[in-house]
Every structure is written in C-alpha cells, then in structure tokens.
Amino acid sequence: MKILIINGANLNMLGNREPKYYGNQTLDAINQEIKTKTENLNIETEFFQSNHEGEIINAIQKAKCDGIILNAGAFTHYSYAIHDAITSVDIPVIEVHLSNLHKREEFRHKSVLAKACVGQIAGFGKYSYILALEYFAMKD
C-alpha cells in the first residue's frame, strides 16, 4: 500500500512557528517518525510539501497511490480548488491537522475540504498523521 502525505502552507516552518499549537518538531522530524511507523504497518509513504495551492492541486491530480493524507494548512478554510481536486480523483483522502481547529480562531472552525474527504483528524499533533495511517492499514 502506498500513501501520499501532502502538507500545505507554512508547514515547512514547523519547529519555529507557534510552538504552542504545533510543537517544536520540524516537518522533517515528523516525516521521519511517520516513515518509521509505516514500516511497521507495511505502508510505503511519499511526502510532499508546498506553500502553493496549484502545486498541491497538481500533486493530488498526479497521485499514484492508495490514499492521501492531507494537511492543507490555511488552504483548508477557503480552497475550493483543492476541494475540487480531491473530488476529481478516485483516491480516498483524509484531512489532518496538528492542532484542534475548534479551539482556535473562528475562521479555522470551517473546512471547505471536509466534505470531499473520507474523514478528518485534528488536535493530536503528529499523531493525527499516525491515526490516518492506521485507518488506511486497517482498511486494506
């Protein structure tokens, strides 16, 4: 099984950006932990990060995988283009977030991507990704 993990806007700044919400680990460190975990789940992972909406759309449209884990960052709250990219492919997508969106600013409470995804996991830090991976592993 192959899973594409897509991280969006500003997630390249993890480790420096608002540690009270996102912790102190870098995205590379989180990806390495995910990669270690997936070896135990017999899942191959590919990682992609971009601050550009169109590149995220291209990654979704070109994906050759069994599932996508998507942390779109702020694009979550307004990108109907990413929503449409998700619905244009026959690949299950799980929306994940490091922080609990509902304990944050009101604009973060709504996801325009959620209806296009099979589920949403938020508030568990890096474990949001692990929970999504475990879903795909159990589904197989």
Task: Write down the residue that tokens 């944050």 correspond to.
Answer: 104
The question of whether 22 is a catalytic residue gets the answer yes
SS3 93: strand
* Catalytic-labelled residue, pool 21, 22, 78, 109: 22
The question of whether 127 is a catalytic residue gets the answer no
**C-beta of residue 120 within 8 angstroms of C-beta of residue 128:** no
* Catalytic-labelled residue, pool 97, 102, 129, 135: 97
CA neighbor of 68 nearest in space, from 138, 136, 137: 136
Residues that are catalytic:
22, 97
